[in-house]
């Protein structure tokens, strides 16, 4: 990634554009849900492409945990210039990835200000995770939560087919 700012500014604009589009069409409560899923779908496609690129030289993964570790270390470092700080799992398909200083949230606040707006800026990254995992063979559902900025937790539940 050449310059982080390019992605950060573009991401800011994408989020505000998606929300403005929906406002001008006049939806009320539905708009929040659809905006978030739109952003997530965008992230999904981007994640799929990115993971192909990042894994083209790595050997195949031994198991699910290996995949998650790769995502936490190399994938996250390539995109956000830092690793996931904490990975927890119940060894039954649920993983919690904790990032204590999520790059897209650091300029917003360090505490409680702007907390309600934070999910908008996490949707794209949830999709990113889901797309990356999907292309590595793991269908999953990814959600994110923030209680204290800029730390956030991504919860990944792998779907067993």
Partner 1 sequence: MTVHNLYIFDRNGTCLHYGEWNRKKQAGISKDEEFKLMYGMSFSIRSFVSKMSPLDMKDGFMTFQTSRYKLHYYETPTGLKIIMNTDLGVPNSRDILHQIYSTLYVEYIVKNPLCALGDTLQSELFNSRLDSFVRALPFFSARAA
Which one, 7 or 54, has the nearer CB to partner 1?
Answer: 7
Q: Does the footprint of partner 1 cover residue 121 (CB under 8 A)?
A: yes
Nearest alpha-carbon partner for 84 in 7, 13, 154: 154
Minimum distance from CB of 148 to partner 1 (Å)? 13
Q: Does the footprint of partner 1 cover residue 20 (CB under 8 A)?
A: no
The answer to whether the Cα torsion of 40, 43, 97, 94 is positive or negative is: positive
Distances (CA, A) of 88 to 16, 38, 92, 156: 32, 28, 11, 10
Q: Does the footprint of partner 1 cover residue 81 (CB under 8 A)?
A: no
CA atoms of 111 and 91, how far apart (whole Å): 32
Instruction: Report which secondary-structure segment, H or E, holds 18.
Output: helix 4-25
With CB under 8 A as the contact rule, which of the stretches 2-10, 40-48, 124-132, 136-144 interacts with partner 1? 2-10
Q: Does the footprint of partner 1 cover residue 77 (CB under 8 A)?
A: no
Minimum distance from CB of 75 to partner 1 (Å)? 23
Please state the length of the chain: 161
Q: Which residues bind partner 1 (CB under 8 A)?
A: 5, 8-9, 12, 15-16, 107-111, 113-114, 117, 121
């Amino acid at each position: 990634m050449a310059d982080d700012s390019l992605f950060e500014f573009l991401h800011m604009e994408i989020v505000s554009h998606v929300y403005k589009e929906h406002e001008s069409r006049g939806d009320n409560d539905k708009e929040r849900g659809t905006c978030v899923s739109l952003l997530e779908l965008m992230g999904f496609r981007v994640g799929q492409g990115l993971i192909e690129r990042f894994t083209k030289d790595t050997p195949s993964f031994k198991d699910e945990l290996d995949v998650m570790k790769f995502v936490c270390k190399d994938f996250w470092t390539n995109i956000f210039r830092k690793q996931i700080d904490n990975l927890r799992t119940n060894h039954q398909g649920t993983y919690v990835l904790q990032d204590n200083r999520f790059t897209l949230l650091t300029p917003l606040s360090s505490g409680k200000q702007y907390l309600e707006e934070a999910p908008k800026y996490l949707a794209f990254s949830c999709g990113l995770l889901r797309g990356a995992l999907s292309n590595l063979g793991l269908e999953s559902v990814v959600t994110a939560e923030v209680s204290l900025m800029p730390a956030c937790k991504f919860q990944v539940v792998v779907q067993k087919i």
